[in-house]
Structure 1
Amino acid sequence: MFVLGPLVGWLSIRPTATHPSSADRSRSGFRRLPQFILASFLAQFFGNAGFQKALERIGLAASVPITLGALIVGGAILGAVLLKEPVGRRKVIAMITLIVAVVVLSLPDQPVTEPITANAETNPTGTPTLPGPTLPGPIDLVVGSLWAAVSGLAYAFFGVSMRQTLQTGLPARNLMLISGVTGSVALWGFCFATLGTATITSTSPSQWMLMATAGCLNFSAFVAITTALRLLPVVAVNLINASQVAMAGVAGVILFDEPITTRLAFGIALTFVGLIILARRTRAPIVITD
């Protein structure tokens, strides 16, 4: 918002030549703005907040595949209904392959157990009993899964609305600014209403710096995905976006010396296979005539 606001303001007052066709497309784009503002609110509020609630209930390993699965499938359905973008057999196979890859990459390598302590319970033989991993209960599992699905569907609706509005000719920078303002008003208002001013002002400078850094990175990612939505169908963008899980695994190996496990290698291989299927073009048949 702080970056795009001055840019959009300067470009809006700069004189440019207008054409009748571009004016008609702009009017069509303005009619799409209410839907886009709603989609921005859902993505910024329910998409982000829903994923956070899912993390609280069921953890990262379950939240990521459910969210990305809902994003991919929901984006394909909404793209076919609202944008008339066909979903052929090749894309369906790529969707299934990448969803399986996300699930594999999200699985933990081994169950996490707490270390033995002096207060550890003992069995009748006198040996300490290790407490097992804390698993979500049935209610947490259902509620957390629903939150993750809501998050993915909110992102899917936002992606489709973004591409639909971009096709009317409205500049991408304007839509990014609208989305940023919508999210800032909604999330800041919610934080002030639930946390209060005292809690927000007690945030340390280092925490503000981390959030500012994360915001810059998020802005870069937002620019990239908006550009992709201008050029590619929603299904393709969401499928390529799902490869971030494999990228995180590779980054862990390179940056943090994490071990290359069979699960990691298999998940990355599945990701490559899914992307290759998505990028593969069907050649037209060669017809030989006399």
Structure 2
Amino acid sequence: MPSPRRISWQGPVCGIASAVLYTLTNIALRNCVDVDAYLVSAVKAAPTVVVLGPLVGWLSIRPASNRPARNNPAPDRTSANHPSPATPSRSAFRRLPQFILASFLAQFFGNAAFQKALERIGLAASVPITLGVLIVGGAILGAVLLKEPVGRRKVIAMLTLIVAVVVLSLPDRPVNEPLNDSLSANTETIAAAEPDLPEPALPEPDLPEPIDLVVGSLWAAVSGLAYAFFGVTMRQTLQTGVPARNLMLISGVTGSVALWGFCFATLGPAAILSTSPSQWMLMVTAGCLNFSAFVAITTSLRLLPVVAVNLINASQVAMAGVAGVILFDEPITTRLAVGIALTFVGLIILARRTRAPIVITD
């Protein structure tokens, strides 16, 4: 067991680091919207394979006597339904095909769909929609597949998140639109009184088209559903004793093979090679940041209660909103402000006194 002093500072630091790293990942991905979404996702999966491949290979061939005994759980925690993580059960092999399917969906639809959402509706709206659908879908799938209880607090949080997703998916005006309406009305009155005067041009806000907002919101929802299924399937497979690092490696390999194969079949080598060096750098950076965020949040989950990690992780929504507005000039709308606020409230409600595990996107 880690010492209390270590928990006191390393747990919160790793939790905050994971939220910041995931936000930086999304910022890098937002800068890659001009690149094919599947190519971005393929490059993003590569760092996981490059880092975890040698590590898992070395751990699998080193002598068992060198493994620290403290990693073995106490005998009273081991049962037929929850075997030791150090000794995967036979059911692990039956779960692996389902996990590979979930990994394919998370990589092909989760990552790629999120990239398409960024292209359509931007960073500030994509993150809360994806996160809201992810948590609601994860709670429903957890109740169905894992028989996890759904208490009153979780139901309230889910309803709040559903309302937030609906609000974020509706078209809206900028927060200063009433002023523009008043100015427009005054302009029409002046123009009617003096028809010879040219009508002054009013600045048009850079808002997504209604079709882009609907399609982008759907892509974000698809991404959240794919991540939710991946999270629940990963928890199921972890119960069979397979280490988390092995599952992440399987997910990365599955995504790399599927996405790179799809890119070569649809784009062709010439189009892939025409990608600029700066775009390659941004995609690789996004993959490295994403893997670092996974390591940080995994460490935080080992040192802090899930409640605290969930609460820290909720800060991603605010970070994404600020980054979208400041870095990418995404418009501040009433819809966006209300949707982000509702998402944040729903995550806080979910984090308080709930034992539901946090869902980590791939």
Q: Return the TM-score normalized by structure 2.
A: 0.59
C-alpha change, 1:234 and 1:47, in structure 2 (3 Å) is: farther
Equivalent position of 1:172 in the other structure: 244
Specify the code of the residue in structure 2 equivalent to 1:271: F
C-alpha change, 1:270 and 1:80, in structure 2 (3 Å) is: closer
Partners of 1:35 and 1:144 in 2: CA distance: 28
Deviation at 1:264, TM superposition (A): 6.4
Specify the code of the residue in structure 1 equivalent to 2:144: V
Task: Please point out which of 56, 66, 74 is paired with 1:8.
Answer: 56
Partners of 2:125 and 2:89 in 1: CA distance: 42
Confirm or deny that 1:136 pairs with 2:199.
no
Equivalent position of 1:288 in the other structure: none
Report SS of the residue matched to 2:218: helix
Confirm or deny that 1:54 pairs with 2:126.
no
Deviation at 1:261, TM superposition (A): 11
Specify the code of the residue in structure 2 equivalent to 1:216: C
Report SS of the residue matched to 1:87: coil
Deviation at 1:238, TM superposition (A): 7.3
Equivalent position of 2:319 in the other structure: 247
Confirm or deny that 1:195 pairs with 2:267.
yes
Contact 2:175–2:333 (Cα < 8 Å) also in 1: no
Q: Return the TM-score normalized by structure 1.
A: 0.72
Coordinate RMSD, CA, aligned: 4.5
Equivalent position of 1:287 in the other structure: none
Equivalent position of 1:44 in the other structure: 107
Partners of 1:281 and 1:150 in 2: CA distance: 26
Q: Counterparts in 2 of 1:143-162, with a 5 A limit?
A: 143-162=215-234
Partners of 2:59 and 2:270 in 1: CA distance: 39
C-alpha change, 1:234 and 1:197, in structure 2 (3 Å) is: farther
Equivalent position of 1:275 in the other structure: 348
Deviation at 1:158, TM superposition (A): 0.3
CA deviation profile, 1:200-231 (whole Å, cap 9, x unmatched): 22223332222221111011223345567889
Q: Counterparts in 2 of 1:47-126, with a 5 A limit?
A: 47-60=110-123, 62-97=125-160, 110=175, 125-126=197-198
Partners of 1:68 and 1:204 in 2: CA distance: 31
Deviation at 1:42, TM superposition (A): 0.2
Report SS of the residue matched to 2:50: coil
| 270-279 or 33-42, larger mean C-alpha shift | 270-279
Partners of 1:76 and 1:239 in 2: CA distance: 17
| 228-237 or 270-279, larger mean C-alpha shift | 228-237
Equivalent position of 2:26 in the other structure: none
Confirm or deny that 1:184 pairs with 2:256.
yes
| 214-223 or 53-62, larger mean C-alpha shift | 53-62
Partners of 1:95 and 1:228 in 2: CA distance: 24
Equivalent position of 1:220 in the other structure: 292
Aligned length: 270
Report SS of the residue matched to 1:247: helix
Structure 2 unaligned runs (5+)?
1-48, 73-79, 181-190, 356-362
Contact 1:105–1:246 (Cα < 8 Å) also in 2: no
Contact 1:68–1:99 (Cα < 8 Å) also in 2: no
Determine which structure has greater relative contact order: mean sequence separation of CA pairs < 8 Å that are 6+ residues apart, divided by chain length: 2
Partners of 2:97 and 2:311 in 1: CA distance: 27
CA deviation profile, 1:99-127 (whole Å, cap 9, x unmatched): 667888998864799xxxxxxxxx86521
Equivalent position of 1:285 in the other structure: none
Report SS of the residue matched to 2:150: coil
Specify the code of the residue in structure 2 equivalent to 1:205: P
**Percent identity (aligned):** 78
Report SS of the residue matched to 1:3: helix
Specify the code of the residue in structure 2 equivalent to 1:5: G
